[in-house]
Every structure is written in C-alpha cells, then in structure tokens.
Amino acid sequence: MGAAIAIESFAHWSSHGDTWRDRPVLVLEQGTLMRRLMTSTLSTAGAKTIITAGSEAEAKSIIERDLPGMVVTGWSAGQRDHRQGLALVKSIRESSNIASRDVPIVLTSQYSSRVDVERARDAGASEFLKKPLSTADFLQRVEHAAIPRLFVKQTRFAGPDRRRKTREGYRPPPFKRNKDVENGLVDSLTAARNACLALAYEVARDGCLQARRVSVSLNRYLGAVRDFGPKENEIVEMHRAALVQLERARDANDAVRISVVQGLEDVVKMRLSRL
C-alpha cells in the first residue's frame, strides 16, 4: 500500500476557473509535419498561445517559466530505451514546483504495446496516443487530459491518479489503497498483498534480476504475516525504497545493486524470525 499524498485538483489552473486553452500549450515534437498538425489542431481548438520546444532541456525551462496548461510531447523512435524516452515526463512529475508538476501531459508515440502504454502511465503521462494520429483523436486525448484528477505522490510514483472512472467494459484493479481500507472495501493485509502483486507485475515487466528479488522478498514477508499495521507497513516502504535505489543505481556495478537487495533481505529475515 504505502502512504500517498493526493492533491484534490490535478491542474494548477483549474482552481482559478481557467481552462487549458487559457494557458500556453507546449509542444515538443521532432517531426515537422506532426508538429504542424498538432499546433494547427490546438489552434483551431482555441489554444491562445502555443509554444514549441526543440529539446527536452528547452521544454523544462519553458514549463518552469510559463506554467503551461498542457504539454504535448513525443516518445520518438530514437528513444527506444523507455527510461530515456520518458525522462521528460518523470522530471515534470518529480519537480519540487507543485504548479508545474501538475500540468496535464499528452504523450504521443509510435509504440503501442500494452507494456509501452503502462510504462507511459506509470511515468506520469495523463494520456497516451499512438502515431500516426488523427486530429479528432488527438483533440479528444487533450480534452481528456485536461479533466481535473487527483495528483498522487508515492514512493515510486508521482502523477495523475492512474485509476479512471468506471466505464463500460472496464475492470477495476484489486483494492490496494489506504482509501480502499478506510472505505471498508478491503482489509489492510489483503490490500497490501494486492499491492505486492501489482508491484511484482511492474517489476517483471522490465526484467531486472535484483528488482525481482525485492518483489520476491516482499511477497514472502506479506505471505507470512497475519496482521497489517505500522510495523508491517514499514517493511513495505523499505521494499519500495529499495526499488527506488535500484532505479537510481541502474548504471552502477552489480555489487552495488546486490548490496541494496542483500541488506533488505537480511532485515526481512530478521523480522520473520520474530514472528
């Protein structure tokens, strides 16, 4: 589960009665024709100011300076490494500037597999749209992105609430949040186990051996405990923190990454011996 901070309005301008059209719209797109299509569509839709950026560095500067009402950015063919391709999205969501980190982000990409869509969502993208795109689909995603949503900040995720409103054919994810527990929808231990399963799927997606060890460790711990309270949640957060460390040290040598996991496993082993 883990503690999360939810900010009631997900769009810094929405609380002032503005819409995304009233704020500058930032477009970062390398393809000339695609960029023209986007800017033309946004202008026709009523965007008052459209700013184009030539690089991620320039885009970050514009976002901090102008606080746009919408960001449209591409996951280009030269960025098949999803971490590199989604770096701008993650940097926006992890910004210390609350006003700029809340901006709705529409990500366009040639990649459209389920894994790619999930990676974009988990990086903090508001909407995902496959290229080539039609003007109608593009504008629809922009409008969807602009709908105010909760901004969630957790150990491993910052961005708009990944849960959507119930719609036909939609299967809600297993209850796994503190709010679900508070609302009596699930008990705390079951919620933690559901969250662990979701974490295991996310970790398996990227195939990192050490991250998988963290997932196995958490599953082992939650499978052994019979109650869930502050002490148990502490162990859950330790596992999340270990995954963050592994992500930050992804370019380090194996010894560094193994030491992170080994230390965690030693703590879990000690805790289990006390049960």
Please write the tens of the pLDDT for every residue from 25-78: 999 988 888 899 999 999 999 999 999 998 889 999 999 899 899 999 988 645
Q: Is 48 left (phi over 0), alpha (psi -120 to 50) or beta?
A: alpha
Q: Are 123 and 93 in contact (CB under 8 A)?
A: yes
Please write the tens of the pLDDT for every residue from 104-148: 999 998 877 888 888 888 899 999 999 888 899 999 999 999 888
Q: Are 21 and 48 in contact (CB under 8 A)?
A: yes
d(C-alpha 89, C-alpha 270), whole Å:
39
Q: Are 231 and 221 in contact (CB under 8 A)?
A: no
Q: Are 267 and 238 in contact (CB under 8 A)?
A: yes
Helix 254-273 / helix 209-224 crossing angle, nearest 10 deg: 10
Q: What is the DSSP letter of 108?
A: E
Mean pLDDT value of segment 257-268: 93
d(C-alpha 258, C-alpha 261), whole Å:
5
Domains of the chain by residue range: 5-160, 178-273
* CATH number assigned to the domain with residue range 5-160, chosen from the 4 options 3.20.20.70, 3.10.450.50, 3.40.50.2300, 3.40.630.30: 3.40.50.2300
d(C-alpha 146, C-alpha 22), whole Å:
12
Please write the tens of the pLDDT for every residue from 213-233: 999 999 999 999 999 999 999
Please write the tens of the pLDDT for every residue from 161-171: 877 655 555 56
What residue type is 201 in one-letter code?
A: Y
Q: Is 81 left (phi over 0), alpha (psi -120 to 50) or beta?
A: beta
d(C-alpha 108, C-alpha 7), whole Å:
26
Strand partners, 107: 73, 128
CA angle 94, 100, 106 (to 5 degrees): 85
